[in-house]
Amino acid sequence: MNIIDELKWRGAVNQQTDEEGLYKLVGEKSISLYCGIDPTGDSMHIGHLIPFMIMKRFQLAGHHPVILIGGGTGSIGDPSGRKSERVLQSMEQVQHNAECLKEQMKNLFGEDGFRMVNNYDWLSKISLLDFLRDYGKLFNINTMLAKDIVASRLDTGISFTEFSYQILQSIDFKMLYDNYDVQLQIGGADQWGNITNGVELLRKTEGVSDAYGLTIPLMLKADGTKFGKTAGGAVWLDPKKTSPYEFYQFWFNQDDRDVVKYLKYFTFLSMEEIEDLEKEVAEHPEHRNAQRKLAEEVTRFVHGDEGLAQAEKVTQALFSGNIQELTGDEIEGAFRNTKGGEVAKAPINIVEALVEAGVEKSKRQAREDVTNGAIRVNGEQVKDTEAEISAHPNTNGKFIIIKKGKKNYFSIAVKE
């Protein structure tokens, strides 16, 4: 199957600069293609993952991904998707972020089979006069103003710095085409203007007709909201920011209306496997087998077999209530966004702790729930209202983990 046919089946194609030409090109030979990411943070989140899933599919189909870390463009800021100017970071912070992103890319693409470049290496060498003479002269201001990413900012204002971003991204495509034979640029739907500028720059400077652009649809949930946001904030690829358990749960908790779309987009399962899971969703949605498979596949892709095993271990421990063997890191990751107050010290009487931390509204209700066996402390059922409770032994005295009833967990912080 031509890779473009597969991408269309998976719902991953939005716009192409030359649909017929690109289809023929990738059907005849292996090509080099690129996607860029600016190091505005020290970790990608799952929104960033979207175009790189497409890059991975090209890699598996025998093509050659080039990952561009925007050390140069990241130092000035992309205007896309925002209503105000980006706060500029120091070059030291940009460099630190770039190194972190490089390590994450290695996890996704492996040590071999792809190339990584940093546009700081060439953008930093272009003088102001060379920039204006060699590139600025080729860009029409009226055309630049009409680009969606710029037009959306005209009412609130945009600096010349961010306005110039699209020229720099165009230079990237030219540099990669000239030096690494890169013929295709991939990006999100909001990058269409930047991508077409790059194709046009190659045409104007070198008469190139075999450079292409492809964008990916904006990912929306069935309820119309933007994919990737949760009550706790972004879902990060860095396990220190979003634990493998939290990452797994994000995917497992997807709506039945979205899960098949995400299976197509975020997994490497075959058409037959996904169609079988689609039938499962229609006939037995209560089993949540499609969500479980989605969570397994994406967690393994991002965190490896070890990360998936940890996520499944924590999931099973929380389901059963047997959390005694969880490590401190696993507990902190599992309960990072769990409701729960704090207590002044520990050990502390169980009734006092439940009321002080807000688990129970009154001492009477606390005594009743403890006596009835509805309270578990650090995985152990406690029915004695006079019991003194302490932090989970694996948390260095930081947290008491309370389970009330069948599902409700509370992470109580110990002040001292």
Q: Which parts are annotated binding residues for ATP? A: 229
| Whether 230 contacts 27, CB under 8 Å | no
CA distance 213 to 221: 25
- φ, ψ of residue 59 to 5 degrees: the values are -60, -45
The residue with tokens 């409770």 is: 389
Q: Which residues are annotated as a binding site?
A: 34, 165, 169, 229
CA distance 106 to 391: 38
Sign of the four-CA dihedral 234, 78, 26, 175: negative
Q: From the CB of residue 102, how many other CB atoms can be counted at a distance below 10 Å?
A: 14
Is residue 310 within 8 Å of residue 245, measured between CB atoms? yes
CA–CA separation, 170 and 164 (whole Å): 10
Contact 400, 376 (CB under 8 A): no
CA angle 295, 261, 103 (to 5 degrees): 50
289 vs 10: CA distance, rounded Å? 20
Rounding to the nearest 10 degrees, give the CA dihedral for residues 409, 412, 413, 416: -150
Helix H or strand E segment including 113:
none
Residue 410, strand partner residues: 402
The sign of the dihedral angle between the CA atoms of 32, 227, 16, 171 is negative
Which residues fall in the annotated binding site for L-tyrosine?
34, 165, 169
Place of tokens 């059963």: 320
- Residue 59 contacts residue 22 (beta carbons within 8 Å): no
CB 311 within 8 A of CB 247: yes
